[in-house]
Structure 1
């Protein structure tokens, strides 16, 4: 379990790095007249993502979930792939990426990188969903995986509606690529 705890802690450190980037980008956006949308759902996102990390450790430790290589290794690969997609989104969006929905008037939606794919409108959320399912399953924490997946799906309905409405303020017909993530 110590290697799994290290993995969860590493994901936690990665999330802290995201927050540093997000705060820097928020300052940049707000200084340019950026408008924050959807403040009501944001605290629930923080609770859910913190709960994911805590749930991974607690379920494995308290319920004695075993590492099953046939499941654990593919899920580990999915966690790594999700991190790659997440950081591709962050790098592609540059200063427009944030953990909050902040729209800067005058900026166009991003339509390059993973945002150029018309069939994948919200690639950052795909990364979040994949990680939220896979990270717990690396070590058999199926209750955490199921709980996060269901709650995240409900939250993403709210989040994506908020984001779509915010992006609609940029222009009458936004392209499929999305700026806030």
Structure 2
């Protein structure tokens, strides 16, 4: 086992769990200010997808031979760039960032930062993370399957968000 790779895996798990804690805190903050949650019925799909993503990476890592190769270093650079973009998304939304769909009725959607350029940048970033992160662990099957599953979940999620934003007005 490569200590760098194990450390990276632990970092990712802690990062994602921390984000769930931030989202929970932000949810309470938003609901206390009159926020309305919608789309709860499909939220479990995100939890299931991301949980199985980590299980799949771990399984592939332990069941296949691993060597640090050039693909690891290329994927690591791509991962770091994606993390910068992810932090940009979270920082731009501030207390309004969440893993759930919660709309503050009296507030306009954020149109600054990365959100000036696209409506759902976090989903695009996550798509690329689901491609890049498995390459760090030589989990190539995971890198093929999970981006596809992410897109399938987004076929439910994005329309639900768009409806919520339109109904806010």
TM-score, normalised to structure 2, is 0.94
Residue 36 of structure 1 aligns to a residue in which SS?
strand
Count of aligned positions: 168
Distance in 2 (alpha carbons) for counterparts of 1:68 and 1:150: 26
Q: Partner of 1:146 in structure 2?
A: 144
How do residues 48-59 of structure 1 correspond to structure 2 at under 5 angstroms? 48-59=49-60
1:37 matched to which residue of 2?
38
Q: RMSD of aligned C-alpha atoms?
A: 1.3
User: 1:88-111: per-residue Cα shift (whole Å, max 9, x none)?
Assistant: 111100111101000011011000
Distance 2:88 2:67 in 1: 29
C-alpha separation between the residues in 2 aligned to 1:61 and 1:2?
13
1:1-181 equivalence runs, <5 A? 1-64=2-65, 66-67=66-67, 69-117=69-117, 120-171=118-169
CA offsets 1:33-65 (integer angstroms, 9 cap, x no match): 21111111111101111111121111011133x
Runs of 4 or more above 4 Å deviation: none
The match for 1:177 is none
Shift of 1:68: 5.4
Contact map agreement 1:68 1:139 (CA 8 A) in 2: no
| Residue ranges of structure 1 left out of the alignment (5+ in a row) | 172-181
Tell me which protein shows more helix as a share of its residues.
2
In 1, Cα distance between equivalents of 2:113 and 2:14: 25
Could you tell me how far 1:20 is from its partner in structure 2?
1.5
Give me the whole-angstrom Cα distance separating, in 2, the residues matched to 1:22 and 1:94: 10
